[in-house]
Amino acid sequence: MPFTRTDRMIALAGLFQAVKLVQQVASSGNIDQQDFETCTHSIFLTDVDRAEDAYGDRAQLRTGFRTLVEQFGGRSESGADDRPKDLHITKYAAGVLVLERRLRKKPDMLKAVADGIERVQGQLAHFPEGHENIVAGLAHVYSETISTLKPRIMVQGEHVYISNPNHANRIRALLLSAIRAAVLWRQCGGTRWQLLFQRKALLEDVRSILSDN
């Protein structure tokens, strides 16, 4: 089944939801647990017919779609001007797309990532997806593989949160889910040129999806 423009936007929303949550953890230590589990759940779904299947339901990506509107310079659903773009989110998203391209060229690392995810998935028989052991396992996969690629994504925020092991694990697990979303975005036909030169069209696609939900 061929992927559609809607599939591309769902994948992109998954990426931006993940990096939005990274910024929230780093700056406040607080995130919506359902938003978090929507992102991490997608890591275990590597073969889907529709992008939506990786996230359960596009409604679960409302935070991601709203972040896209903010970052692309649109207006909020109420018609008011959105807050200024968060440059940290832009930087993280761009960094993830670069790392995904570099990861694609390293088959040994791709296999290590897949094997690591499979090991963590085996723990789901004993722990729910949001359990700290699962999160720590996903964080370990990221640390041992993608985190070694250059340029590394340097997360900025409050030291009290970034230095907390549980928060650090959440950040790494979210970055792994962002990589998964970047892979899906590319599989759906997404390119960096679309992000650079077709933002108005992408924003209209986002608004269409939001209005349908």
Domains of the chain (ranges; CATH) run 5-212 (1.10.3890.10)
Could you tell me how far CA 207 lies from the centroid of its own chain? 19
Which residues partner with 81 through β-bridges? 75
DSSP label at residue 148: G
Q: Look at residue 75 and give its three-state secondary structure.
A: strand
The tens digit of pLDDT for each residue in 117-159 reads 999 999 999 999 999 999 999 999 999 999 999 999 999 999 9
Q: Is the pLDDT of residue 89 over 80?
A: yes
The residue type of 14 is G
Q: Is the pLDDT of residue 20 over 90?
A: yes
Q: What average pLDDT does the structure give for the chain?
A: 92
Rg over CA atoms, the chain: 16
Residue 163 has pLDDT above 60, yes or no: yes
Q: Are 61 and 8 in contact (CB under 8 A)?
A: no
Please report the pLDDT score of residue 1 as a whole number: 55
pLDDT of residue 167: 98
Q: How many Cβ atoms from other residues are within 10 Å of residue 2's Cβ? A: 6
Residue 12 has pLDDT above 80, yes or no: yes
177-192 tens-digit pLDDT: 999 999 999 999 999 8
Report the share of the chain in percent with pLDDT over 70: 94
Average pLDDT over residues 102-119: 97
Measuring CA to CA, which residue among 87, 69, 80, 92 is closest to residue 21? 92
Average pLDDT over residues 97-119: 97
Total-model pTM: 0.93
Q: Which amino acid, one-letter code, is at 208? A: S
CA–CA distance, 207 with 213 (Å, rounded to integer) = 10
